């Protein structure tokens, strides 16, 4: 059995959780499409491409996961430095707050891209 320390165990669990989320997104999209395609006639469902829907779903999941992990890494480094700077000089509060807000913006940009990708997943006609 692997003898992992706290940080390594956390990152391994985070990686497993990301794979779980991607599997949920993939199987949710696939099962919805299968259900709808069974309801529709074959002639009205010919335009749909399952590979396109799967790649868009994976792209949305990866963009969200990568942006959140990047934001977390940046926030860990910048947040520690900001707290240290605030402990020494209180007048650097605005600069510290601004830099931490930029780190949070990375995650928000990833969320926006994931939402835009998610809305582009083709759905069969009703």
Which stretches of the chain drop beneath a pLDDT of 70? Answer: 1-2, 29-49, 124-126
Q: Give me the pLDDT at residue 68, please.
A: 92
- Decide if 115 is inside a domain: yes
What distance in Å separates the CA atoms of residue 117 and residue 53, rounded to the nearest whole number?
Answer: 10
- Decide if 8 is inside a domain: no
Domain count, the chain: 1
Beta strands in 7-72 (DSSP E): none
Please provide the distance, in angstroms rounded to a whole number, between the alpha carbons at the two ends of the chain: 51
Please write the tens of the pLDDT for every residue from 18-37. 888 777 777 776 666 666 66
The answer to whether the beta carbons of residues 106 and 67 sit under 8 Å apart is yes
Q: What is the pTM of this model?
A: 0.58
Q: Give me the pLDDT at residue 122, please.
A: 77
What distance in Å separates the CA atoms of residue 42 and residue 110, rounded to the nearest whole number?
Answer: 36
Domain with 57, as residue range(s), is 52-121
- Decide if 76 is inside a domain: yes
- Decide if 36 is inside a domain: no
- Decide if 96 is inside a domain: yes
- Decide if 92 is inside a domain: yes
Domain harbouring 104, CATH code: 1.20.20.10
- Decide if 64 is inside a domain: yes
């Amino acid at each position: 059995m692997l003898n992992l320390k706290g940080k390594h165990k956390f990152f391994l669990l985070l990686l497993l959780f990301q794979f779980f989320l991607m599997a949920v997104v993939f199987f949710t999209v696939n099962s919805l499409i299968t259900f709808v395609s069974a309801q529709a006639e074959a002639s009205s469902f010919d335009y749909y491409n399952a590979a396109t829907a799967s790649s868009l779903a994976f792209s949305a999941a990866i963009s969200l996961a990568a942006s959140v992990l990047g934001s977390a890494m940046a926030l860990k480094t910048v947040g520690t430095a900001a707290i240290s700077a605030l402990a020494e000089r209180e007048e650097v509060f605005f600069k510290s707050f601004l830099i931490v807000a930029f780190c949070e913006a990375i995650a928000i940009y990833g969320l926006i891209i994931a939402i835009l990708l998610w809305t582009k997943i083709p759905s069969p006609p009703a």
